[in-house]
Structure 1
Amino acid sequence: MAKNTGKAYEEFVRTIQQSLITAEGMSHLKNIEVETNKKLTDRNGIERQFDVYWEFDLGGYVYKTVIECKDYASSITVEKIDAFIGKTADIPGLRLIYATKTGYQSGASIKAEQHKIDLLIVREADEREWTAEDGTPLIKTIQLNIVALTSPRITSFAPNVDTDWLEKQKDLNADIINHAFTSSLNNEIFISNESTGHKFSLFDLSHLLLKKIPDIQYGKGTFSEELDNSYLETKAGDIKIKIKGYKLDYEYHAPITTSSVIDYSKDLLGIVEKYNTGTKQMIFKDGKIK
């Protein structure tokens, strides 16, 4: 089993802290870079190592912050706080923060408060984040089942032209009719009933087939309908021919179902808790803080 050097936890805390700084809008002060394994020299000339460090300049004064990180399975003792105090005693002007995954013993908490050390619990998210204080489960995942319903698609359309009517039309011939309708889209060709005033395009007709054929089945099929006092006409209405009805072929496909799962836990980077107050922040990978 590999030895826990604590480096992974230090990097985790650095990432969390960088996200907090960005979310709090502090980056406008300067390009704040949160570093790990930072070396600072105290007033005795002794070089001290700090797990996480960042600084910023405001009003001509440099504000420096250090975080001591301990990836322990047990609570932090007062001796660990004493060691942190000793390491920072000869470097004035530091803001001191301690971070661990577990917690702090009472003596450590008291000593930290006396020396104005902020105590944090910085950890990965677990099931606690998805349960309310009263035990009510919170939404962790959402599964979306999307069903795409399609209308029948008309593959061919053959109008039953009223030949007696057509023969009486001196300004219409086969070339004019073919040119008007063969170059038009299905939303540019209309059937109009002059008795009822009802008018619909061939595009609309594909949707109407679901009502016209109550027992319609998936797959290929045919449908025909007789019409009275009806015309096939162009979108502009400049060409129209009287029809007695029509026959069409269609294809009707079964609904397409797709599923997707939104797992909020995968987007959650980590949790920061202030030990003394119990307040908690959820830091997400996209930089959002809740």
Structure 2
Amino acid sequence: MTKNTGIPYEKMIQHIYQQILTCEGLDTINVQHNIILKGKTTSHQIDVYWEFNLRGIVYRTVIQAKDWANKVPQGAMLTFKAVLDDLPSGTKGIFIAKNGFQRGAINIAKAHGISVYTFCSAVEENWSGPIPMIEVALRLRVPVCIRPQFHMPLDWARDNTRITGLMRDLDPRSLVTDNETGESWTINRLITELCDRCGTPPKEYTKEFHDAEIQPFGTEHRIKIQEFTGIFGYQTGYDEKFHIQVDQLVGYILRDATNGRIDIFDNNVTLLRNEAESNG
């Protein structure tokens, strides 16, 4: 039984589980690599490990990561079970192998609650066939903003005629502030938000303010506004379909060896999708 890369493989497992835990909302947990745990009778070297405390109870998980060229045999699973038996009660075990497990090893894992996974590149896993392809549909959405206009309170405008002229040809970097909510936008950002709100097709929309003002870009003046009106939204520009080979998009696959469920990662080992359905 030969080893291919050793420690780099273990570090990849550490990296992917840090992402999976973060995706599951456990982003404060530190996933550790190559640590020594003291058992009931002896100390054990652990490839990957994490723990967390919940209401006074410590939950521990240890991972055995093997990039052996052959399938993990029954004897290796029994050895891992012995390590788990020597660690504090309730310690969860996960065995991850690059090239899978012999049937006897999987049977032992099932009998003793050990999770078993394979982790390898998409090409090595041959995911979804010899040259799996994904069809991608590209739809370009073009933002629409027609007749955008800020409206001032009439009484305020009458009392401040010397600065109301600044409302003509406003620079899109001018700052809009809603004093009631504390929110601020540049005009560009506000238009983008309203386009997102209106969606497709574009529609007339009025954003009302109870206490808001606009500061024309490059000035110190603040002008009261009570609403912003216009037609906002998106139009579909064009549709285009093209194909991508799976190995151009998916770099690595973590597969549950018992039920086939997978997590997929890109070529930089960044999590793309959590708990995806198996493709084969």
Partner of 1:41: 38
234, 254, 257: which one aligns with 1:275: 257
- Report Cα offsets for 1:102-122 as digits up to 9, x if no partner: 111111111111111011111
Offset, 1:72: 1.0
Residues 128 and 48 (structure 1), Cα distance of their counterparts in 2 relative to 1, 3 Å cut: same
Q: 1:78 to 1:48 in 2, by over 3 A?
A: same
> How far off is 1:67 after superposition?
0.6
In 1, Cα distance between the equivalents of 2:134 and 2:51? 38
Partner of 1:13: 13
Structure 1: 5+ residue stretches without partners: 145-260
Q: Which residue of 2 aligns with 1:113?
A: 110
Q: Measure how far apart 1:81 and its partner are.
A: 0.5
Q: In the alignment, does 2:125 pair up with 1:138?
A: no
58, 83, 100: which one pairs with 2:97?
100
Mark the CA change 1:137 to 1:89 in structure 2 (over 3 Å): closer, same or farther: closer
Partner of 1:77: 73
The answer to whether structure 1 residue 23 and structure 2 residue 23 are counterparts is: yes
How far does residue 264 in structure 1 lie from its aligned partner after superposition? 6.3
Contact 1:18–1:34 at 8 Å: present in 2 too?
Answer: yes
Structure 2-normalised TM-score?
0.52
CA-based RMSD? 3.0
* 1:80 to partner: Cα distance: 0.2
- The 1:75/1:59 distance shift into structure 2, 3 A limit, reads same
- Counterpart AA for 1:279: R
How many aligned residue pairs are there?
Answer: 166
**Is the Cα contact below 8 Å between 2:120 and 2:253 reproduced in 1?**
yes
One-letter code aligned to 1:13: I
Q: Structure 2 matches for 1:50-89, cutoff 5 A? A: 50-89=46-85
Name the residue aligned to 2:126.
Answer: 128
Tell me the distance in 2 between the aligned counterparts of 1:286 and 1:74.
26
Matches within 5 A, 1:148-227: none
Instruction: List runs of 5+ in structure 2 lacking aligned partners.
Output: 139-242
TM-score (norm 1): 0.51
**TM-superposed deviation, 1:60:** 2.0
- State the secondary structure of the residue aligned to 1:116: coil
Letter in 2 for 1:26: L
Change (3 A) 1:121 1:60: same
CA distance, structure 1, for counterparts of residue 60 and residue 30 of structure 2: 12
Runs of 4+ residues over 6 Å off in structure 1: 261-264
Residue type of the alignment partner of 2:22: T
- Aligned 8 A contact 1:130 1:139 in 2: no
CA distance in 2, matches of 1:118, 1:66: 11
Is contact 1:16-1:270 (8 Å) kept?
no
* SS of residue matched to 1:89: helix
* Rounded Cα–Cα distance in structure 2 between residues aligned with 1:129 and 1:4: 21
User: Aligned partners of 2:69, 2:85: CA distance in 1, in Å?
Assistant: 27
Letter in structure 2 aligned against 1:129: W
| 2-structure distance, mates of 1:77, 1:99 | 13
1:67 aligned counterpart, secondary structure: strand
Q: Is the CA contact 2:37–2:45 (under 8 Å) kept in the aligned structure 1?
A: yes
| Partner residue, 1:223 | none
- Percent of matched pairs sharing the same residue: 33
Amino acid at match of 1:110: N
